[in-house]
Amino acid sequence: MPIEDLIVALGVRPATPADHSELSIRPATPADLASIESLLSANQLPTVGVADSLPDFAVAESNGRLVGVAGLERCGEEYALLRSAAVDAEWRGRGVGRRLVEGVIADARTRGLRTLYLLTTTAEKYFPTFGFAPISRDAVPAEVRGTAEFTDACPASATVMALPLETGVQGRVEAEGSN
């Protein structure tokens, strides 16, 4: 089967050169807040705390329109939440989310953070591709458990995942219950 047919069969929309030339990733600004909150709401993600963490967010933009977002919420000196990762439906399957998440992870490493955490109800299979692994809520530091995302915004049934960022950490966080 030719690759073009496979792509169509899988429902994947490949990025075209025009897609890449029109897309830019940049730091979020206060002028982006309403568009970020709209995109998050459209993706059924919480908006609480976004305004406070906006300086640590990145956005993907095409022709002046915000088409993706991802951010960090700092939790003390050593930890942060990867939060609010969302891509406009028209842009999914083109690598926009991957570029945003990789950028946020790189930013967290640059800042010297020890571990990055996240909560998800829909992307438990996506985030392991970046090295995240499920952990129990009890294993999460108090600084992170005290955030609005943990206490109110995300349901208790959300999967908690962690990614160690320390220099020299070679492995992934052990999956919950493994030895």
* Number of domains present in the structure of the chain: 1
Look at residue 179 and tell me if it is in a domain: no
Look at residue 77 and tell me if it is in a domain: yes
Please list, in sequence order, all residues whose beta carbon lies within 8 angstroms of the beta carbon of residue 61, skipping any fewer than 6 positions away.
23, 24, 25, 26, 67
Look at residue 117 and tell me if it is in a domain: yes
Instruction: Decide which of 97 and 17 is more confident.
Output: 97
pLDDT tens digits, 8-47 = 444 444 444 344 458 999 999 999 999 999 999 999 888 9
Look at residue 133 and tell me if it is in a domain: yes
What does pLDDT average to over the chain?
A: 82
pLDDT tens digits, 108-122 = 999 999 999 999 888
Look at residue 112 and tell me if it is in a domain: yes
Look at residue 178 and tell me if it is in a domain: no
Please, how many CA atoms are within 13 Å of residue 178, restricted to the half-sphere of its CB?
Answer: 8
The pLDDT, as a whole number, for residue 11 is 45
Look at residue 7 and tell me if it is in a domain: yes
Look at residue 132 and tell me if it is in a domain: yes
Domain limits for position 70:
3-164
User: What is the CATH classification number for the domain harbouring 10?
Assistant: 3.40.630.30
